[in-house]
A and B are shown apart, each in its own frame.
Chain A
Amino acid sequence: MDTAALLIIEVLNGISSLALTCAGLAIIFGMMRVINFAHGEFMMLGGYTTVVATNAGVNIWVSMLILSPLVVGIIGILSERLLIRFFYGRLVDTLIATWGLSLLLIGIVTSIFGNYITGVSAPMGNFSLGQYQLSVYRLVLIGLTVILFVGIYLAFTRTKLGLIARGTMQNPEQASALGISPPKVYMVTFGIGAALTGLAGGLLAPISQIIPTVGFTYVAQAFITVITAGTGAITGTIVASGVFGTVRQLVTYETTPIIGGVSLLIVAVLLLRILPQGITGKIFRRSL
């Protein structure tokens, strides 16, 4: 019984951390169709912001929920202005440019903080479930993920800004003719995506180890999930995270984390073979 409950919590944890990893990318890649290979490094920067701020005496919630998104959002906007905007519409060039950006960011962080593992301890302590000890923070994280995705969904469907952003992504010329400046919309949307990525990096910092190259572990699974999501980026990402998170966590429970990662990839490749348009190409077609 305890084991079953533990397994359910583990699976929910896997889903929520995968969904968090993908939230920013769902906007930047899923909606804007901008390939950001520095996604993992944005998360890494979010993690470092939380670690550095917390160790400097800032309240951990402030550093996770406010500082991380703020810092990474600013870095995101800078990257967009200085680099990424020159490559809009050229997929492969964007890919390589952001790949270069990703290596550069790793290099800068390594220069400043060194190639060491850092981290912060999770707040709020543990609770016991039968014979198992579980961290309260992991439960809070599941709740935060739900709130975050509901927030993103509402922001894009119910607010005027969200409407403008979606309209510009669909048809920049039309938006431009209506008096909206597409470059500005792209910049802001990219910044929001980056901020969400930083937030995810900050929130995951207490339950993961932070090293300059930690982004590598995030970027592949994030892209795979958002690609599998298809055109309805937000809904699709939730569904894909649900599928992949469950599979990975169950396989990991039975075997090792590495085989868990392999299972995620195999399921993704098979899914894309069956549904080339992604999950939202077949079901939830009219969702966002």
Chain B
Amino acid sequence: MLKMIDLHSWNTRGLIFTGAIMLALLFLGPTIFDLFTLLKVILFIAMAMLALSLAFIWGFGGILCFGQSAFFGLGGYVYAIAVINMGESTVPILLAIFIPAAFAMLLGYFMFYGRLNDVYLAVVTLAVTLILYAFIRSTSGEEWVIGKARLMGFNGISSIPDPNWPGFPDSLLWPDDKFYVAMALLILVYFGLRFLLRTHFGRVIVAIKENETRAELLGYDVRFYKMITFTIGGGIAGLAGFLLVTFNNFVNPDKFALALAAQIIMWVLIGGVGTLIGPMLGSLALLILYNWLGTQNFAGWLNTYLVFGGIILLFVLAVPQGLQPTAQMLALRYLPWTRPPDADGGSAKIGARERVSSD
């Protein structure tokens, strides 16, 4: 436990630095951004949270999920349906976390206890997303009603009530409040994951990712640990889905779509598999790029698939580690002052490797 607060360690310094920036953003956000930008930032936060969920299960759990958008969309829909029926948002928010998590656990049970790996996992999660997407799109008929909520098929559910403060059904969240809540949740999830990774559980799942057989021979039930990792990822994605709904009180089947599933993988790939900050920044960068492309007229032949495909190929061929580890490596090599203070010249390289593998 003492090692956790070692101020000389690079990881602790990095965490303090990250925390400081995130806290500054939390408190200054509504002051620096105008209302329009602030709402957009809430969207970015929701997506960053989504990126975190995959960054965790892929980068640290070794589970490449092609259907992370399934849990995201599920979270959004669960929240929407529940809040429309209940008229109060505390329970719906919890449901938006727990139902996707439970769904992930069920799916995880079949996949991990069936010993599915790599491509098998990718395909099953992909298929689940595709089917959920097709299913929710087909619910436009009158008969698709859950309580008071009509599912509305591909039109999506609109005018979803704003969330309220827990226990006070009449005091709704203003845009500023929404931002505070979203940012606070992001900080909570980020540091929660960081903490989790330093606990026994976190070390075991990383050990499983590094060498499944060895972890198994040491007596850990790989299937169980993977299922729990996947469940946590599903819950976080569901929470992100709720945040997205608060952004514009709207949810539609596109949240399940393959295009989004592909983007999530790109965020993690670009930011760096095995890091948490990188994917969040990756999501931010790509969303800004995406918005910018949408405002440009020069590109009649240019479309998102072309850009996304090109970016994925570029990264997988040229920068396979992702931006964060690459930046760290370059900084350590060319900027001497970024080297860990406790490392002499000879061990700087080892330090570099440690940092890359542990964010």
Which residues of A does B touch, CB under 8 Å?
Answer: 29, 35, 83, 86, 91-93, 95-97, 99-108, 110-111, 115, 212, 216-217, 219-221, 223-224, 227, 256, 258, 261-262, 265, 268-270, 272-273, 276
Contact = CB atoms under 8 A, between A and B. Distances in A.
Given A110-B303, A258-B138, A101 B313 contact: yes
A227 B119 CA distance: 9
Given A86-B317, A95-B119, A107 B124 contact: no
B305 A110 contact: yes
Contact of A258 (B115, B124, B135): B135
Contacts of A86: 317
B305 A107 contact: yes
Interface of B: 64, 110-111, 113-116, 118-120, 122-124, 126-128, 130-131, 134-135, 138, 258, 262, 265, 269, 301-313, 316-317, 320
A273 B312 contact: no
Contacts of A216: 130, 258
A99 B262 contact: yes
Given A91-B118, A261-B134, A262-B135, A100 B316 contact: yes
Given A100-B316, A110-B303, 5 more contacts: A83-B313, A86-B317, A93-B316, A221-B127, A269-B114
A262 B131 contact: yes
10 contacts: A86-B317, A100-B311, A103-B308, A104-B312, A107-B304, A110-B306, A220-B126, A220-B127, A272-B116, A273-B113
B309 A100 contact: yes
B313 A220 contact: no
Nearest to B306: A107
A115 B113 CA distance: 41
Contacts of B312: 96-97, 99-100, 103-104
Nearest to A273: B114
A283 to B, nearest CB: 18
B220 to A, nearest CB: 20
A97 B232 CA distance: 27
Given A99-B265, A110-B303, A220 B317 contact: no
Given A93-B320, A95-B64, A107 B303 contact: yes
